[in-house]
Structure 1
Amino acid sequence: MNLLGIHHLSALTANAQNNVDFYTKILGMRMVKKTVNQDDPSVYHLFYGDEVGNPGTELTFFEIPNAGQNHDGNRSISTTSLRVPNDEALRYWEKRLNEHDVENEGIVEQFGRNVIPLKDFENQRLILVSDENNEGVPGGTPWEKSEAEPNYGIIGLGPIHLTIPELESTEAILTKVMGFRRKGEYKHHSTGQEVIVFETGEGGTGAELHIHVRTDLPQERLGRGGVHHVAFRVKDEETIREYLEQLNEIGMGNSGFVDRFYFRSVYFREPNGILFELATDGPGFATDEDVDHLGETLALPPFLEDRREMIERTLKPINY
């Protein structure tokens, strides 16, 4: 597979309003789509991104109002990175996070880059990573109306961290099936344990997986503050159907072709049980909304439009 990088990442929240407040007002991301979980339209699916929600910039959340707290552990997507333009931007963010009483570890080094590990209001594990020396997949463009300084704004998803008990089988899928290549290793700044780095496409911060191999952890119990799945970029629908054929040929169980309206997808679990998605770069979020008004009203894919009245009655309004 010739994947283009990270497409999006989907996590869980128990409170949509607090989630919007944190990611738009503190982190300054744009809500590019307010929609529902297509598999359960009674709950929100919120998309944050750059100015238009370009592929590779999308951090999304399913709202599960009664979700218990995530119990961190193995077989998990354990940390989500968000890219900022440079080291100067990190210094701005360190000050801003402290001003808003956001738990963070300050600026540390990770794989030759400066980063800030932090947590959101539900202990979602995040990292702000500097693109100072990035030579791979380019970032997006921060929203000019952001509540954070646009020149220092978040420009996309960075390296995604996986924690697994066994590397060999996952590495085989990444390298022999998905086209990733092993890039290097580093010692984690807090655990001191080795982290193995894989990259795809043009490489760089927008196309890496960082693998933590831990045999000393229980399996994660997913809840609020946890991550549901990570998606990787595929050029178009024709290409994703080719990839689907490849998955079927090797006997990799999968969802089959899924039309998410804003992109086309296929889902499968890698050998350690982590849910992967392949998603097309288009059609994009301006398909059903004007670019200047993305995320302002509830957007529904056509197959849910006839249920709009019932869906809107079920959802609690979000103010922003």
Structure 2
Amino acid sequence: GETVLPFRDPDGLPVELAEVEVPDDDPTTAWTAFVPESAAIRGFHSVTLWLDDAERTEGLLRTMGLTETESADDAGSDGATDADRTRFAASGPVGKYVDVVETDRQGRSGRGTVHHVAFQTPTDADQSAMRDAVSSMGLRPTEQIDRHWFRSVYFREFAGVLFELATSDPGYASDEPADALGERLVLPGRFGDRREQIEAGLPDVTVPRPKGSGGSGSSEESGSSAESGSSDASAEGDD
């Protein structure tokens, strides 16, 4: 099975670092300023849905093209074992697993929970077909919404978890170089005149910098963005 390091983030969200083999078709680039490439975070590994009645949601995931597969964990940070957990896999090298765990715990929204789960539907045609499939199951997806870097459709699955279907285009590199992503706060045009107000409400984030990278010799830099840097991360939350 996979070796997993569980912990909770400052808001109490259960998070795990999972040690996995990097596939040959992995499109990500390792951030190696402080760790070797073999220990760098590559992206999301999985998300866990905690549901009081999993059967209909499992049917929805199959309709969305995910396939049931064997769970690799003995137990997650939520204490769920293989016997409690059903794992579904989408296509693609990273971020493809959705774990379903039945629970009688009451879900809630706010700090320490995951707001929504996004699924990539690369083109408008792919998204439209998926929207029709979701509608055919009696769910009520929104119309397409322009999110500047992608176009989205939202709906709540049977247990109330918010799902998003998002296109690949135009992408985050549409208004800044790909190798500069995360270095500054980029706002969609309609929020441009509110930059000062928005930045004033953001928490300070300290981004580590490797020694010898220039500046006054400090190894840290304060800003409103953070870089993460070969483990995958998985997030779990009450839904």
Give the TM-score normalised by structure 2.
0.73
Match of 1:298 among 185, 194, 212: 185
Gaps of 5+ in 1: 1-111
Q: CA deviation at 1:174?
A: 1.0
- 1: CA distance, partners of 2:6 / 2:182: 28
Give the alignment partner of residue 184 of structure 1, picking from 57, 65, 70: 70
1:206 is paired with a residue whose SS is coil
The aligned counterpart of 1:254 is 141
Deviation at 1:312, TM superposition (A): 4.3
Q: Residue 26 of structure 2: which of 119, 135, 138 is its match?
A: 138
Q: Which has the higher strand share?
A: 1
The reply on whether 1:228 has 2:115 as its aligned counterpart is yes
Structure 2 residue runs of 5 or longer lacking an equivalent are: 206-221, 224-239
1:240 corresponding residue in structure 2? 127
Displacement of 1:170 in angstroms is 0.8
CA separation of 1:135/1:316 partners in 2, compared to 1, >3 Å: closer, same or farther? closer
Q: Identify if the C-alpha distance between structure 1 residues 151 and 183 changes in structure 2 by more than 3 Å, giving closer, same or farther.
A: closer
- Which secondary structure does the structure 1 equivalent of 2:167 belong to? strand
- Encode CA deviations 1:213-260: one digit per residue, 9 max, x unaligned: 123x2x122222211011111122232133233334444212210111
In structure 1, the residue matched to 2:14 is 125
Does the aligned pair in 2 maintain the 1:187–1:194 contact within 8 Å?
Answer: no
Structure 1, residues 295-317: CA drift from partner, whole Å, max 9, x if none? 33321112222444554455566
**1:152-192: per-residue Cα shift (whole Å, max 9, x none)?**
211111021111111211111111x2111211356536454
Identity %: 33
Instruction: Give the secondary-structure state (helix, strand or coil) at the position aligned to 1:282.
Output: coil
Give the structure 1 partner of residue 213 of structure 2. none
**CA 207–222 in structure 1, closer or farther in 2 if over 3 Å, else same:** same
Residue 281 (structure 1) shift: 2.1
The DSSP-based 3-state class of the residue aligned with 1:126 is strand
1:316, 1:181 → 2: CA distance?
A: 39
Q: Which has the higher contact order (CA 8 A, sep 6+)?
A: 2
| Cross-structure match for 2:84 | 194
Q: Secondary structure at the match of 2:70?
A: strand
Distance change in 2, residues 1:179/1:316 (3 Å): closer
Distance in structure 2 (CA, Å) of the matches to 1:266 and 1:127: 28
Report if aligned partners of 2:43, 2:94 keep a CA contact under 8 Å in 1: no
Aligned partner of 1:87 in structure 2 is none
Verify the 8 A CA contact 2:50 2:102 in the aligned structure 1. yes
Distance in structure 1 (CA, Å) of the matches to 2:131 and 2:80: 38
Find the aligned partners of 1:314 and 1:263 in 2 and give their Cα distance: 25
* Residues 80 and 101 in structure 2, CA contact (< 8 A), matched pair in contact too: no
d(CA) in 1 for partners of 2:116 and 2:24? 23
Structure 1 residues 162, 137: closer, same or farther in 2, change over 3 A?
farther
Q: How many Å separate the matches in 2 of 1:194 and 1:246?
A: 28
Cα distance in 1 for partners of 2:109, 2:187 equals 27
- Aligned residue pairs total 203
Alignment of 1:164-183 (within 5 A): 164-175=51-62, 177-183=63-69
Give the direction of change, closer, same or farther, for the CA distance of 1:171–1:308 in structure 2 (3 Å limit). same
Given the two structures, how large is their TM-score scaled by the length of structure 1?
Answer: 0.56
Letter matched to residue 103 of structure 2: R
Distance 1:181 1:316, change over 3 A: closer
